[in-house]
A and B are shown apart, each in its own frame.
Chain A
Amino acid sequence: EAQVTQNPRYLITVTGKKLTVTCSQNMNHEYMSWYRQDPGLGLRQIYYSMNVEVTDKGDVPEGYKVSRKEKRNFPLILESPSPNQTSLYFCASIDSGSYNEQFFGPGTRLTVL
């Protein structure tokens, strides 16, 4: 089954404690992306990747890092989380051969205390 997986689905942490949210896709897509969703703001792009070792900033990259060492994985790293990073995070994998349709993971609910 074609899918995008994210882990963990829920995470409560404290300010300053480094964390990683993993994202993996099994569709062999070159493009992947991370979004955060906040009430009243919709989804905003954090980072995206056009291929292995190629990443670029989205609209709200501050406080986040990403890496793309393998095509299937695109982890999101928060080196020193802060309460304003409390949000719902989505990873997406993009099918450039089919309308650039984005396939979303199930989301990760992060709370930073």
Chain B
Amino acid sequence: AQTVTQSQPEMSVQEAETVTLSCTYDTSESDYYLFWYKQPPSRQMILVIRQEAYKQQNATENRFSVNFQKAAKSFSLKISDSQLGDAAMYFCAPLAGSQGGSEKLVFGKGMKLTVNP
């Protein structure tokens, strides 16, 4: 069974600074995708970034990047130049079955990010 751990329930960062959100997981799968989702106060779930487990290169999406350590089963999210609009709950979600064999998405418990002006 998959488990996902986001060890920090809350974090804060100053506007324009950099913050890293941690996530570790456990899976027996060898090929899978990993996702970070953002949930602002509107409650909408918004995809921030995704990573394919078979790719060694870490994914980057504008100010968002990941540090994926497959052997350590670690998938952290780095937010650079933090903006007030980045304030939200962030969920880590690894998904087994990159070939579409499993749609079971297991989420971490989430981490509330506050951005201070």
Residues of A within 8 A of B (CB): 31, 33, 35, 40-45, 48, 50, 58-59, 88, 90, 92, 94, 96, 99-102, 104, 106-107
Contacts and interface: CB of A to CB of B under 8 A. Distances in A.
A33 B102 CA distance: 12
22 contacts: A31-B103, A33-B103, A35-B105, A35-B107, A40-B109, A41-B109, A42-B108, A42-B109, A43-B105, A58-B104, A59-B106, A88-B43, A90-B45, A99-B52, A100-B33, A100-B98, A100-B100, A101-B47, A101-B50, A102-B105, A106-B43, A107-B43
Contacts, number: 59
A52 to B, nearest CB: 15
**Which of A88, A99, A100, A102 has the most chain B CB atoms inside 10 A of its CB?**
A100
Given A99-B33, A100-B100, A107 B44 contact: yes
A45 B109 CA distance: 13
Given A99-B52, A100-B97, A42 B107 contact: yes
Contacts of A92: 45, 105
A43 B107 contact: yes
Contact of A96 (B47, B50, B100): B100
The 10 residue pairs across chains A and B that have the minimum distance between CB atoms: A96-B100, A104-B45, A42-B109, A43-B107, A42-B107, A31-B103, A107-B43, A99-B33, A42-B110, A94-B103
Classify the secondary structure of A's interface with B.
Answer: strand
- Chain B interface size, as a band, is 20 to 34
B98 to A, nearest CB: 7
**Which of A42, A48, A59, A104 has the most chain B CB atoms inside 10 A of its CB?**
A42
A42 B91 CA distance: 8
A59 B91 CA distance: 17
A37 B9 CA distance: 15
Contacts of B35: 101-102
B1 to A, nearest CB: 9
